[in-house]
Amino acid sequence: MSRRNRPPVALLILALLGLALFAVPLVALLIRTPWGQLPALLRSDIVADALRLSAVASVSATLIAAVVGVPLAWLLARVEFPGRALVRGLVLLPLVLPPVVGGAVLLFALGRRGVVGQALEQATGLVLPFSTWGVIVAVTFVSMPFLVVTVEGALRNLDARFEGAAATLGASRWTVLRRVTFPMIWPSVAAGLVLTWARALGEFGATITFAGNIQGRTQTLPLAVFVALESNRDAAVALSLIMVAVSLTVLVVLRERWWKAL
Amino acid sequence: MSGLDAQMVVRRNGFVLDVALEIEPGRTVALLGPNGSGKSTVVAALAGLLPVDEGSIVLDGAVLDDPTGRVFVPPEDRRIGVVFQDYLLFPHLSVIENVAFGLRSRGVGRSEATDTAAGWLERLGIAELVERRPGDLSGGQAQRVALARALITDPKMLLLDEPLAALDATTRVELRRILADHLAAFAGPRLFITHDPTEAFLLADEIHIIEHGRVTQVGSADDIRLRPRTPYIADLGGSNLFSGDAARGVVDVGGHALHIADTHISGSVLATIHAHAISLHQHRPEGSPRNTWETTVTRVEHFGDRVRVQTGAPLPITAEVTPGAVADLELREGSAVWVSIKATEIGVEAG
């Protein structure tokens, strides 16, 4: 390296200090991990239940987001209607709202005495709070905005003339969506889905507020970590390790190509 | 009538397009105009991507757009083949999938559509590109793929939006020939949009000039060149265009030798000479101009502060001079005059 290219020392020190904030906890976690007991810990009830529940909730939230979030993104990107800015703000609100507040508003709306929750219980007998369905609603509420934001951005950036060209070739509006619009924004949709899933997996505040913390029914991985910190440190470490491994894998797999789509 | 009969009024953000177009089957019309004149709006209206506010579009006797009759046929049902500016090939599909797209969209099975598409690639001399992605194509290749994609659906009309604008000069000459062949082979009405007068003169049977959303002149290449009706048309029509054979710095135009600056070009060429690059003299001019000949004035036409002077044999050519020069040289029909052109004022390209 020539002298010219050598970075200024002060800058380097600050950068390494910043990096330490992220690296040290990870190293500490690896040191603290009871590797020998890990297989047994991962098979314990509390860990297995949390794993299963987190998988169910995060995958369900991602699927729901795909089914209703992509059309919502399309609506926001392509249809002009009065109050669109307000609707967009509403959709993005969970991104900035403290998740606990998110859980609280869900409770006001969908709780047993909530505006919609009461009617829902009378009509179908379904009670959302303190149920697995409640977990799914809470994590979807918090994670779906990631998909909507990503897909809406991709639709806005897509050159609409391609869709016009497809129409002149005889493609119906549905065919245009299926064969041109969707394939062209697919990298962004995929990135949005992965982000949504990762956020759903890590959701804590809205879940514990709206769905409570019942092992096997509403206790997801982050909730289990929180509980285990008090009662069983080794289990907490094992659970943390799982979450770190999954998150890191997602980030590495996404890599440059998909990040660019954001 | 068969063919295209369109009266289009489109109003958008203060811009008004008001254009009438009639094109018979087998005829090529060029819509020639500067940027912002409304050419792309015409493409959008005809293709059905933008409804007209007033007027009507009738193709082959079928009404495609008529606001008063509440008729609007969507683009997918119009059967108008469009080659877009920048081609708009679908980047996520291979070349053959792009070409087969129109057939697949109309319900043709995959293998039949692929076979037909392969036939079109063959016809356009790009059979080897089958599996390539549009991002890996040169401009000329992309243009041919776009042409194949538009023609494969057997459209009733062909609409080309600046089909040669994205190409470099060498490719443009080759593609212009290919385009001319395929235009000639297409039976329906053909409309192509351009801002390049040479393209319009070479490819079109009839030229419509569009300025500020309105057609300012309709006519043959000669009408446009010799009897321009606006300053814009006078400028773009000011070129004299000759085809001939070049060798060693001389272009042979029907037996008349034009000296040019480029000594390397050879073979069939197009020579362009702008009208205001031609000098007229009462006596044989002194000095360096390589091209000098005596002729007679066949026509003198005034428009504004400029005068177009047409001359006769040996090489009919149109010069543009000031009214003062006309008076000084006593130019009128039948008077003798010397023409001189510097070799460097003659543009030459392979053609």
User: Which of B214, B236, B258 corresponds to the end of one domain?
Assistant: B236
pLDDT of residue A124: 86
* Pairing mode of beta strands B28-32, B206-211: parallel
Best of B77, B84, B92 to disrupt the A interface by mutation (most A CBs within 10 Å)? B92
> A172 and B81: CB-CB below 8 Å?
no
Which is it for the CA torsion A140, A146, A149, A151, positive or negative?
negative
Phi-psi region at A52: left, alpha or beta (left = phi > 0; alpha = psi -120 to 50): alpha
| Domain co-membership, B212 together with B256 | no
Of all residues in chain B, the percent with pLDDT exceeding 90 is 35
Which structural domain range is residue B69 located in?
Answer: 4-236
pLDDT of residue B253: 79
| Domain co-membership, B191 together with B220 | yes
Mean pLDDT of chain A, nearest integer: 89
> A165 and B74: CB-CB below 8 Å?
no
Higher local confidence (pLDDT), A261 or A254: A254
| Domain co-membership, B251 together with B231 | no
Q: How many residues does chain A have?
A: 262
Report yes or no: B163 at the A interface, CB cutoff 8 Å.
Answer: no
Q: Give the DSSP H/E element, type plus range, for residue B19.
A: strand B15-23
Residue B162: list chain A partners with CB under 8 A: none
The Cα–Cα gap between B287 and B279 comes to: 13
* DSSP symbols for A224-236: HHHHHHHH-HHHH
Report yes or no: B177 at the A interface, CB cutoff 8 Å.
Answer: no
> A184 and B153: CB-CB below 8 Å?
no
CB-nearest to A170 from B44, B90, B106 is: B106
Structural contact between residues B89 and B102, judged by C-beta atoms closer than 8 angstroms: no
Q: Which of A89-93, B178-182, B228-232 has the lowest mean pLDDT?
A: B228-232
* Pairing mode of beta strands B256-259, B291-303: unpaired
State the residue for tokens 């799914």. A136
pLDDT range class, residue A68, cuts 50, 70, 90 = very high
Higher local confidence (pLDDT), B276 or B4: B4
Q: Give the DSSP H/E element, type plus range, for residue B259.
A: strand B256-259
Structural Rg of chain A based on CA atoms: 22
CB-nearest to A169 from B44, B74, B105 is: B105
Q: How much is the average pLDDT of B182-209?
A: 88
Residue A258 pLDDT greater than 60, yes or no: no
> B90 and A169: CB-CB below 8 Å?
no
Instruction: Tell me the CB-side half-sphere exposure of residue B99, using CA atoms within 13 A.
Output: 32
The Cα–Cα gap between B250 and B252 comes to: 6
pLDDT of residue B13: 83
Tell me the pLDDT tens digit for each residue of B127-182.
888 889 998 998 888 989 999 999 998 999 999 998 888 777 777 777 888 888 88
CA distance A183 to chain B (A): 7
Closest CA to B1 of B34, B18, B32, B24: B24
| Domain co-membership, B201 together with B257 | no
Residue B228 pLDDT greater than 90, yes or no: no
| Domain co-membership, B225 together with B278 | no
Residue B287 pLDDT greater than 80, yes or no: no
| Domain co-membership, B338 together with B316 | yes
| A window 112-151, beta carbon within 8 A of B | none
Residue B1 pLDDT greater than 60, yes or no: no
Structural contact between residues B202 and B233, judged by C-beta atoms closer than 8 angstroms: no
Report yes or no: B189 at the A interface, CB cutoff 8 Å.
Answer: no
Best of A169, A177, A178, A180 to disrupt the B interface by mutation (most B CBs within 10 Å)? A169
Q: How much is the average pLDDT of B190-218?
A: 89
Higher local confidence (pLDDT), A152 or B164: A152
Report yes or no: A179 at the B interface, CB cutoff 8 Å.
Answer: yes
pLDDT range class, residue B227, cuts 50, 70, 90 = low
| Domain co-membership, B128 together with B226 | yes
Q: CB pairs below 8 Å between A and B: how many?
A: 61
User: Which of B236, B251, B276 corresponds to the end of one domain?
Assistant: B236
Residue A170: list chain B partners with CB under 8 A: 76-77, 79, 102, 105-106, 153
The Cα–Cα gap between B306 and A188 comes to: 59
Q: Which of A95-99, A248-252, B47-51 has the lowest mean pLDDT?
A: A248-252
Closest CA to B87 of B141, B24, B123: B141
> B80 and A168: CB-CB below 8 Å?
yes
Q: How much is the average pLDDT of A117-122?
A: 86
pLDDT of residue A3: 61
Closest CA to A132 of A215, A227, A240, A205: A215
Residue A64 pLDDT greater than 90, yes or no: yes
Helix (H/G/I), strand (E/B), else coil: B218 = strand
If you measure CA to CA, which chain A residue comes closest to B85?
Answer: A161
Q: Which of A148-152, A191-195, B21-25, B224-228 has the lowest mean pLDDT?
A: B224-228
| Domain co-membership, B69 together with B193 | yes
User: Which of B182, B214, B236 corresponds to the end of one domain?
Assistant: B236
> A165 and B84: CB-CB below 8 Å?
yes
CATH of the domain at B299: 2.40.50.100
| Domain co-membership, B77 together with B127 | yes
Q: What is the largest CA-CA distance in chain B?
A: 74
pLDDT range class, residue A180, cuts 50, 70, 90 = very high
pLDDT of residue A12: 92
| Domain co-membership, B75 together with B224 | yes
Of all residues in chain A, the percent with pLDDT exceeding 90 is 60
If you measure CA to CA, which chain A residue comes closest to B75?
Answer: A168
Q: Which of A44-53, B227-236, B278-287 has the lowest mean pLDDT?
A: B227-236
Higher local confidence (pLDDT), B264 or B147: B147
Q: How much is the average pLDDT of A212-220?
A: 89
Of all residues in chain B, the percent with pLDDT exceeding 70 is 95
> B78 and A168: CB-CB below 8 Å?
yes
Higher local confidence (pLDDT), A175 or B223: A175
Residue A261 pLDDT greater than 70, yes or no: no
| Domain co-membership, B114 together with B206 | yes
Residue B50: list chain A partners with CB under 8 A: none
Cα-to-chain-centroid distance, residue A50: 17
Tell me the pLDDT tens digit for each residue of B70-119.
999 999 999 999 999 889 999 999 999 999 999 999 889 999 999 999 99
pLDDT of residue B271: 78
Q: Which CATH class is domain A38-88+99-261?
A: mainly alpha
Best of A162, A168, A172, A176 to disrupt the B interface by mutation (most B CBs within 10 Å)? A168
Residue B74: list chain A partners with CB under 8 A: 167
Q: How much is the average pLDDT of A135-153?
A: 95
Domains in chain B, number: 2
Structural contact between residues B228 and B213, judged by C-beta atoms closer than 8 angstroms: no
The Cα–Cα gap between B151 and B166 comes to: 20
Structural Rg of chain B based on CA atoms: 23
Residue A75 pLDDT greater than 80, yes or no: yes
> A167 and B49: CB-CB below 8 Å?
yes
pLDDT of residue B19: 93
* Cβ-based burial of A115 (10 A; exposed 0-12, middle 13-18, buried ≥19): exposed
- Which residue pairs from A108-114 have beta carbons closer than 8 angstroms and sit at least 24 positions apart in sequence? A110/A134, A110/A137, A110/A210
pLDDT of residue B249: 79
> B76 and A162: CB-CB below 8 Å?
no
The Cα–Cα gap between A222 and A143 comes to: 15
pLDDT range class, residue B280, cuts 50, 70, 90 = confident
Note whether ipTM > 0.85 here.
no
| Domain co-membership, B223 together with B260 | no
Report yes or no: B328 at the A interface, CB cutoff 8 Å.
Answer: no
> B153 and A169: CB-CB below 8 Å?
yes
CB-nearest to A169 from B49, B74, B101 is: B101
CA distance A162 to chain B (A): 6
pLDDT range class, residue A37, cuts 50, 70, 90 = confident
Report yes or no: A165 at the B interface, CB cutoff 8 Å.
Answer: yes
Tell me the pLDDT tens digit for each residue of B318-340.
888 888 777 787 777 878 888 88
